[in-house]
Structure 1
């Protein structure tokens, strides 16, 4: 019986060794799929058009006079986009990050701790702390500026009043008119202390929030392009990613269209939309260029994609839940005090965007 067990153990060890060797070979196998090569090249331009149009449409629709898109459509795109961003964070980023960092191609140490979740949480708190610092710094600068402006206004009023005091008969002249105009233009603020200037609505705050959102989306788009260039399931993946990038572009574009910036910065939303439009095509081009050397299952590739996906997931989770949902609903008096129909329309749009993007996660 001992001899039989010994033989069984030898056979099992041999099978395990063969399986381990095959698995190691599969993990380090370089070279993406060469199937549909011409279509993969064409996908660069198809996705470039889809992503760019999706991101640019809300911006151009809001600025164009001849397009005349109803406000209801713009609102739908904005709320639908919020749902898309949230679903992207959980389904298209966090889950792939967990799978990559928990792969059997990595050492056992990577599977002893949920590193993807830890990195996602680190990203959330990192963005949170950065935003706190930015808001505190911005509010202090605005408060200082407000103080300087109040001092300047007070000085102007005093100077104007002193000009008319020596001769009250001239008060009805041009100087008196100047005084009245100054008092009308700069009325004393009764609730200045209760309503200090806020950094949240400033152009800089909008730029910071949008940059954070774009950074997370762009990282994800590059990885998607790289995957599409080398993945064996291209035939199924291609149409799904076209819809995926178009929806994601629509989500980003709707947010960019809502930015209220000075005229000299009006180009920023358009540039941001174009940057998003080219990221996935660049990822596809890079993947096709290195497809003979790139090993998707290698430890280096898995760690890189897993870390980037996890960090991007944290960025989009924070942006989607705090910057978009909380600000658009909980902290928005117009929404909270508005009609039930308006609230239902907004919530339904968010859930529809989340549901459709989650459904696409079945294939991509």
Structure 2
């Protein structure tokens, strides 16, 4: 005869203590997350807040480490634990479903990007623009980074200078937001950037809703609350820096703010939903464990693909600027990345 499942596998309900503080956490996390995700955008565009470029680069590399650690420690590890839970029965124990789902989401994103790039490149070619998605030839402008490389079509006879170089000459050494936007030639390139950041946001948002639900009903509320505040601020800094570095036509100027708003509001939405169903929602129940495990695993694949391919590969391997940088600059960038990775991994001890 099979043993009965653990008590927390039933429907039950979550912890109802600290109701007032849990409600307050909704607004505290909303404010802190929104600030972390929005400040880099405002600072990047503001003529009043004149932060050095080094500050943005530090935040960018730090954020890359945060995103990768989130994928491994805060998503994949819980996904494995949840999808091997005794609550799910023996059928879930015989195969690494969490890893398979992460693999599935990673390659799904890859295939989507392959298709998108083929369509975009074909359209650019019709316009006489040859696009180098890795930025091998000119500058440190990559398709998924702050800007993009545009190479002259050999058939056009313009072999001496790229469109990017000519645009740069027209704007001098000014690296302001307005002058950078002039380098973007087509809506196709704008969409390539938007797809990249949307993929990142999608994985982060799924995760944020889940941790909001957990915070609303978890018995270890006090420790979890403090950890999640830092967690969301670090992650928000990484997302906000990516949004700030988007170079888009003026008609898309609102997109980074929409992204930061969505990031800031998702965890509070999760908390609000959790508070609303706290008497019936048990995060350890069979249904909640299954849903959380699947979403965590899928999100892990998204963030790991984004972190390694879109962020690290393009910032270190495919960036001519970084390949030609001094050893000191390279070591500093790596140190920033490792610091973000280490701090986010450490937070995984508590949440």
* Larger displacement relative to structure 2 (24-33 or 39-48): 24-33
1:65 aligned residue? 47
1:236 aligns to 2:223 (yes or no): yes
1:332 aligned residue? 319
CA distance in 1 between counterparts of 2:104 and 2:286 reads: 22
1:190 aligns to 2:177 (yes or no): no
Equivalent pair of 2:217/2:282 in contact (CA under 8 Å) = no
SS at match of 1:113: coil
Equivalent pair of 1:84/1:353 in contact (CA under 8 Å) = yes
1:282 aligned residue? 269
1:84 aligned residue? 66
CA distance in 2 between counterparts of 1:25 and 1:351 reads: 40
Q: Of 46, 49, 60, which aligns to 2:31?
A: 49
Equivalent pair of 1:139/1:198 in contact (CA under 8 Å) = no
SS at match of 2:240: helix
SS at match of 2:88: coil
SS at match of 2:109: helix
SS at match of 1:202: helix
* Larger displacement relative to structure 2 (200-209 or 275-284): 200-209
Structure with the largest fraction of helix: 1
Cα distance, 1:338 vs structure 2: 1.1
Q: Of 79, 92, 104, which aligns to 1:122?
A: 104
SS at match of 1:68: coil
1:301 aligned residue? 288
TM-score by length of 1: 0.80
RMSD (Å) for aligned C-alpha atoms: 2.1
Change over 3 Å in CA distance of 1:346–1:198 after alignment to 2: farther
Unaligned stretches of 5+ residues in structure 1: 1-12, 148-186
Question: Which is greater in Rg?
Answer: 1
Cα distance, 1:26 vs structure 2: 2.6
Cα distance, 1:190 vs structure 2: 2.9
1:30 aligned residue? 12
CA distance in 2 between counterparts of 1:349 and 1:201 reads: 32
Equivalent pair of 1:142/1:198 in contact (CA under 8 Å) = no
2:255 aligned residue? 268
Q: Of 326, 338, 341, which aligns to 1:351?
A: 338
1:320 aligned residue? 307
Q: Of 184, 205, 220, which aligns to 2:207?
A: 220
CA distance in 2 between counterparts of 1:26 and 1:333 reads: 54
CA distance in 2 between counterparts of 1:262 and 1:55 reads: 21
Cα distance, 1:198 vs structure 2: 10
CA distance in 2 between counterparts of 1:65 and 1:120 reads: 42
SS at match of 1:105: helix
SS at match of 2:205: helix
1:166 aligned residue? none
Q: Of 328, 342, 345, which aligns to 1:341?
A: 328
Report the number of matched residues: 305
Offset from partner CA, 1:59-116 (integer Å, 9 cap, x none) = 1111111111121111111100000000000000000000110001111010110000
CA distance in 2 between counterparts of 1:302 and 1:236 reads: 21
Offset from partner CA, 1:237-288 (integer Å, 9 cap, x none) = 0000000001100000010111000011011001100110000000000000
Q: Write out the 4+ residue segments of structure 1 that deviate beyond 2 Å after TM superposition.
A: 23-26, 190-193, 197-201
1:132 aligned residue? 114
CA distance in 2 between counterparts of 1:267 and 1:287 reads: 30
1:39 aligns to 2:21 (yes or no): yes
Equivalent pair of 1:135/1:200 in contact (CA under 8 Å) = no
* Larger displacement relative to structure 2 (288-297 or 200-209): 200-209
CA distance in 2 between counterparts of 1:88 and 1:39 reads: 26
TM-score by length of 2: 0.83
CA distance in 1 between counterparts of 2:207 and 2:6 reads: 27
